[in-house]
Amino acid sequence: QKEVEQNSGPLSVPEGAIASLNCTYSDRGSQSFFWYRQYSGKSPELIMSIYSNGDKEDGRFTAQLNKASQYVSLLIRDSQPSDSATYLCAVNAGGTSYGKLTFGQGTILTVHP
């Protein structure tokens, strides 16, 4: 069983719509959660981090965390063509895995004009 799973995608949304990206994780001891954006041929770029249950907003991005359901999501409001990229969910398990991130496979998002 994969430790971090993302909705398989690819996900296609029209410009101006809300894009919803989802991620589940298996380790209940996980402490911190991250979303990275990766453009084709480039390195992952950290866009959101979240550590406690609830919502965290940063501009057009909102991260949501529900530790009881072992679920983390990323909402992108007013999606733009420049948001087209692969989005990676990453989880820091804590405990003996302290400091190590486990990444999901990524979801490809395409925003079409």
> And the tokens for 88?
């990676």
Q: In what order do the strands lie in the sheet with 19-25?
A: 4-6, 19-25, 71-76, 61-66, 54-58
- If the CB atoms of residues 26 and 31 are measured against another protein, the closer one turns out to be 31
Dihedral over Cα of 109, 77, 73, 94: its sign = positive
Query: Which window, 18-26, 56-64, 70-78, 102-110, contacts another protein (CB under 8 A)?
Result: 102-110
Residues 26-65: x/- map of binding to another protein (CB under 8 A)? -----xx-x-x-----xxxxx--x-x--------------
- Residue among 73, 106, 107, 109 that touches another protein (CB under 8 A): 106
